[in-house]
Amino acid sequence: MCSEFMRRVKPYGYDLPEPYLPTTLPWMLVFTGPVHALTYSATPGTYILTGSSDRSIRLYNPSTTVPVSATPTSSYIRHNDPAAKHSSQATSGGIPQGRLIATYTSHAYSVLSLTVSSDNAHFASSGSDRAILLWDVAASAGTSSPIRRIGGAHGHSGRINAVAFAGENDSLLISGGFDTSVRIWDLKSNSARPVMVLDEARDAVQALAVRGCEILSGSVDGKVRSYDVRTGKVTADLVGSPITGLDLTRDGRSVLVSSLGEGVRLFDRADGTCLKTYKGKGRRNAEFRLQPILGGRERWVLGGDEADWGNGGVEGEGEGGGADAKIWVWDLLSGDVARTLRVPWGLREAKGGKKVLGSDGREKKDRAHVATCLAWKEGGWGDTFAVGGTSGVVTVFGRAMKE
């Protein structure tokens, strides 16, 4: 059985030396509201884009020339916004923060999803305002205005949970929303209408994954649907519980699925078989849209947790004045927990007055810090990864880097 599992899901880099699992806390980026969307730029992954409930999109360069301490302290987060109260200098604990390059502010409500083109020239965003915005990285930075608004009267009728580039030269944009539809937009056309509407889902579409001519969608109706836009073939695999996240393996043969109450599972796309389930004692996912990822050349599976772990894995107040979040790291093949990582809340004063919101826009008064979104540099093949969540802090894990 073990050899069969290895044959079916063995990742490209598995025969190489065990990849480095970043565990230090070199950089912090702080916002005025929970972070719902997080992505690295395309290869070489120099920048990080974030989308927040404060309606802003921020472009950061997390690299720094300031020495990084391998041991995090209790006071190492500083605001990195011109309007913030705190200095952007590195703290006494040796943990600097990333440099804010640009801020984009045209969404009317929370930003829920981001996607970057393969040439890094453009990115697209979607949010609770039912808007899909296409941005030119350089031109839009000065004006904070998108180069195109997609949809309008022919767009989604509810919040848009996911967007992704697709097609040759990223000529298509895929969107999935609360209205249960997946829509395909032709970026080369000036038409306001989508070229295709995929409406098989019976509840909100929460996640998308694209590979070549295939589009995968994950819905609250508990199904993962695969669309081949060349042949028109549609397949649906029943997961059972509302789906919150998808991540395809690089060879496209397997898909990582996160769902409410069922944890994180790896499925064989050929026959829908569940190949592995990733669990952790005390881990909970009953309410938030947690989005797991593959990392370390597909050696690791990473996922967040709704449980309030406090300081050192004990429920309660963390060192930074709020409860800590927790990241689980599993071995892809064995399913064993390889490590757990603590993600601090931030400065004590950063907690005051900040509402914790779920991806549905509702306040979660009984939640402190939940790591909802993760991104690994270069699609899981780089040397750093980033974590964002309800505290409004993005933490970048990795080795110290110098310009």
User: Would you state the pLDDT for residue 302?
Assistant: 96
Q: Is the pLDDT of residue 92 over 50?
A: no
Q: Is the per-residue pLDDT at 4 higher than 90? A: no
Question: Tokens at residue 84, please?
Answer: 């913030």
**In this predicted model, what pLDDT tens digit does every residue of 171-202 receive, in sequence order?**
999 999 999 999 999 999 989 999 999 999 99
Distance of CA 52 to the CA centre of its chain: 12
302 and 166 in a single domain? The answer is no
> Does the residue 372 lie in any domain?
yes
Same domain (yes/no): 285, 381: yes
How would residue 10 be classed by pLDDT, with cut points 50, 70 and 90? low
Q: Which of 45-49, 240-244, 262-266, 380-384 has the lowest mean pLDDT?
A: 380-384
User: Last residue of some domain: 162, 177, 199?
Assistant: 199
- The answer on pLDDT for 41 being more than 60 is yes
Q: Are 196 and 174 in contact (CB under 8 A)?
A: no
Q: Residue 140's pLDDT band (boundaries 50, 70, 90)?
A: confident
Tell me the Ramachandran region of residue 298: left when phi exceeds 0, alpha when psi lies from -120 to 50, beta otherwise: left
Asked, for residue 90, whether it belongs to a domain, the answer is yes
C-alpha closest to that of 184 among 171, 169, 200, 203: 171
pLDDT band at residue 9, thresholds of 50, 70 and 90?
Answer: low
Residue 185's pLDDT is 97
pLDDT band at residue 33, thresholds of 50, 70 and 90? Answer: confident
| Structural domain range at position 136 | 31-56+103-199
Given a cut of 60, whether residue 67 has pLDDT beyond it is no
226 within a domain of the structure (yes/no):
no
pLDDT band at 79 (very low <50, low <70, confident <90, very high): very low
Q: Are residues 85 and 162 in the same domain?
A: no
pLDDT score of 65? 42
The pLDDT-based confidence of 394 (bands split at 50, 70, 90) is confident
More confident residue, 81 or 198: 198
- pLDDT band at residue 304 using 50, 70 and 90 as cut-offs: very high
User: 17 or 132: whose pLDDT is higher?
Assistant: 132
More reliable by pLDDT, 145 or 6:
145
Q: State whether 185 and 309 are in the same domain.
A: no
What CATH number does residue 157 fall under? 2.130.10.10
Residue ending a domain, choose from 134, 166, 199: 199
Mean pLDDT score, 347-367:
53
Q: Would you say residue 281 has pLDDT above 70?
A: yes
What sign has the CA pseudo-torsion 241, 242, 245, 251? Answer: positive
Q: Of residues 314 and 160, which shows the higher confidence score?
A: 160
**Contact residues for 32 (Cβ-Cβ < 8 A; gap 6+):** 52, 54, 81, 354, 392
Regarding whether 150 and 49 lie in a shared domain, the answer is yes
Instruction: Indicate the pLDDT class of residue 311, thresholds 50, 70 and 90.
Output: very low
pLDDT for 329-339, tens place per residue? Answer: 999 999 999 99
**Res 289 pLDDT > 50:** yes
Residue type, 396: V
Asked whether the beta carbons of 222 and 259 are under 8 A apart, the reply is yes
Domain-embedded: residue 120: yes
Residue 345 exposed, middle or buried by CB count within 10 Å (0-12, 13-18, 19+): buried
Q: How far apart are CA 245 and CA 233, in angstroms?
A: 22
Final residue in a domain of this structure, among 178, 199, 220: 199
Neighbours of 314 (CB within 10 A): 12
CA 138 to CA 282: how far, in whole Å?
45
Q: Which of 72-81, 261-270, 332-341 has the lowest mean pLDDT?
A: 72-81
Are 157 and 52 found together in one domain? yes
User: Are 37 and 11 members of one domain?
Assistant: no
Same domain, 185 and 118: yes
Q: Indicate whether 42 and 143 sit together in one domain.
A: yes
Count of structural domains within the chain = 2
β pairing state of 293-295 and 300-303: antiparallel
Give the mean model confidence (pLDDT) for residues 272-294.
Answer: 92
Q: Indicate whether 315 and 363 sit together in one domain.
A: yes
In a domain, 211, yes or no: no
- What values do phi and psi take at 143, rounded to 5? -105, -15
The span from the CA of 232 to the CA of 222, in Å, is 22
Tens digit of each residue's pLDDT (9 = 90 or more) over 198-251? 999 999 999 999 999 999 999 999 999 999 989 989 999 999 899 999 999 999
How confident is residue 312, by pLDDT bands cut at 50, 70 and 90? very low
Instruction: Kindly indicate the confidence band of residue 30, based on its pLDDT and cuts at 50, 70 and 90.
Output: low
Q: What is the mean pLDDT of the chain?
A: 80
Task: Look at residue 138 and give its three-state secondary structure.
Answer: helix
Q: What is the mean pLDDT of residues 26-44?
A: 82
Same domain, 179 and 323: no
Please name the residues in contact with 56: beta carbons below 8 A apart, sequence gap of 6 or more: 31, 103, 104, 105, 107, 111
Any domain includes 255: no
For 3-71, give the DSSP string: HHHHHHH--TTTTSSPPP------EEEE-SS-EEEEEEPSTT---EEEEETTS-EEEEE---SS---SS
Q: Examine residue 293 and state whether it is found in any structural domain, yes or no.
A: yes
37 and 142 in a single domain? The answer is yes
- Look at residue 234 and tell me if it is in a domain: no
